[in-house]
A and B are shown apart, each in its own frame.
Chain A
Amino acid sequence: MKISVDTAACIGAGQCALVAGELFDQDDDGIVMLLDDQPTEAQYAIARRAASLCPARAITVTESA
């Protein structure tokens, strides 16, 4: 699995860091910071959940690594 984020689309809601703090953080303006673009298998579910909750649809999860 590969994660990518679009910081230009991010609106700083923080949903990703809330549900998947191991993979995402926020800068001082709240904009997404990707901590790890290649999650472990155990993190696949929270990565998908973070992407599905993003109000700006700024997170893309590509399943085939």
Chain B
Amino acid sequence: MTAGAGVVIVGASLAGLTTAEGLRNEGYSGAITLIGEEDRDPYNRPPLSKQVLAGTWSVDQTTMRDAEQLESLGVRHLRAHRASTVDVNARTVTANGAVVPYEHLVAATGVVARTLPNSRGVRGINSLRTVDDALTLQRDLAGAGQVAVVGASVLGCEIASAARSAGHGVTLIGRSDALRFGRNGNHLSPMIADLLHENDVRMRMGVEVIEVQGRHSVSGLRLSDGSVIPADVVVAAIGCVPAVDWLSDTGIDISDGVLCDANGVAAPGVYAVGDVARWLDPLTGEAHRIEHQATAIERAHAVARLIVTGESTPPIASFFWSELFGNRILVHGRLAPDLPLTPLTGSIGDRRFVAATIRSGRPTGLVGWNMPREFRQERARVIEQAAQHHPHPAVEAAAN
């Protein structure tokens, strides 16, 4: 691999930074340029909705690598640069007017939080995606009484848990009838709902927000059933939109993130990692975006390996975790909606268990609740079994 234009990574969050680190781990000696929209050192997002929101960490503790550490890694970091266009024939990316040539381009631009309609400029309406979001939310929460969290997802539940633990009155509002916890059907919904109830989080499920009330500062939310939830602070966790505008006119399918083959290749010399990436799953033939940190890390290493050595990496089962009111919840793979949840260790009633959905004798997904060690041991067995079942996974390039 010659140095030349080297690797240009667009997006300086976890997936982008890990790709840079992975390239160096694999022995890459060429130029690496990291283009980031925010004027900050790369930072880790999960603590924003956990330690930072709970007030146990300062924002600085989320920094993954400072300027000096990036320099020692041999990475040029273009802060506060927003990529606007890519020329795949000339192999250049344009950011803030600068035209940066590349040999390999890695898309790691992530996703942008959706906002509540007609809420722009209203004080007290928040999302939680960036450090700036976290700082604004902290400021708004100081002195707030009633908090409304919109979106009954993992993130929504975590924000509700952190806000309630900090002593605020919290209402969680969800459009679906049950809590959604990743792509795991409703297996965990009743257990998480019980946890929220016990901790006095009010839940309003099966309703939509119709109107944000309050002129300059929010005072409440009117719901589709006609009721009004009073709130001095609203946090919207209503999903995200992939940041792909800059890849328009490249011919790459960006209808839902960046479509890639099973190795993360979107087009010749173009790859995608992290939340923006939609990789083909060779076992199902479907392509999904997976907004999990562990997946972002593993795929970044896989793309780095592919760029440096040309070797592909077997598909990686998804894995994520959450912490709600002190309960540590870990999920590997996917709990199948059509199968019962079978306890493997511990007791579901005691909130200490490892359980799985099992198809043809093999777990499709695994959940650990307050048994992290036993969960990891079961997880090792599941990974081992899967490797035996698919010793040579069919990793084939997609149509591009």
| Interface residue ranges, A against B (CB under 8 Å) | 9, 11-15, 17-18, 21, 25-30, 48, 52-53, 55-57
Contacts and interface: CB of A to CB of B under 8 A. Distances in A.
B232 interface: no
B330 A15 contact: no
29 contacts: A11-B46, A11-B321, A12-B328, A12-B372, A13-B319, A13-B321, A14-B330, A14-B372, A14-B373, A14-B376, A17-B376, A18-B376, A18-B379, A21-B380, A25-B373, A26-B373, A29-B328, A30-B328, A30-B372, A30-B376, A48-B25, A52-B18, A52-B22, A52-B25, A52-B301, A55-B46, A55-B293, A55-B297, A56-B44
A34 to B, nearest CB: 15
B375 A15 contact: no
A57 B42 CA distance: 13
- Which residue among A13, A18, A56 has the maximum number of chain B CB atoms within 10 Å of its CB? A13
A53 B301 CA distance: 9
Interface of B: 18, 21-22, 25, 44, 46, 50, 61, 64, 293-294, 297-298, 301, 319, 321, 323, 328, 330, 372-373, 375-376, 379-380, 383
A52 B21 contact: yes
Given A55-B46, A55-B297, A14 B375 contact: yes
A53 B298 contact: yes
A15 B293 CA distance: 12
A24 B321 CA distance: 19
A10 B103 CA distance: 37
A13 B330 CA distance: 7
Mostly, the A contact residues are loop
Ranked 5 nearest A-B pairs via Cβ: A30-B372, A14-B376, A26-B373, A12-B372, A55-B293
Contacts of A9: 61
Contacts of A52: 18, 21-22, 25, 297, 301
Contacts of A15: 294
A11 B46 CA distance: 10
B372 A29 contact: yes
Could you say which of A15, A25, A48 has the most chain B C-beta atoms within 10 Å of its C-beta? A15
Given A18-B376, A30-B328, A53 B297 contact: yes
Contacts of B297: 52-53, 55
B25 to A, nearest CB: 7
A30 B373 contact: yes
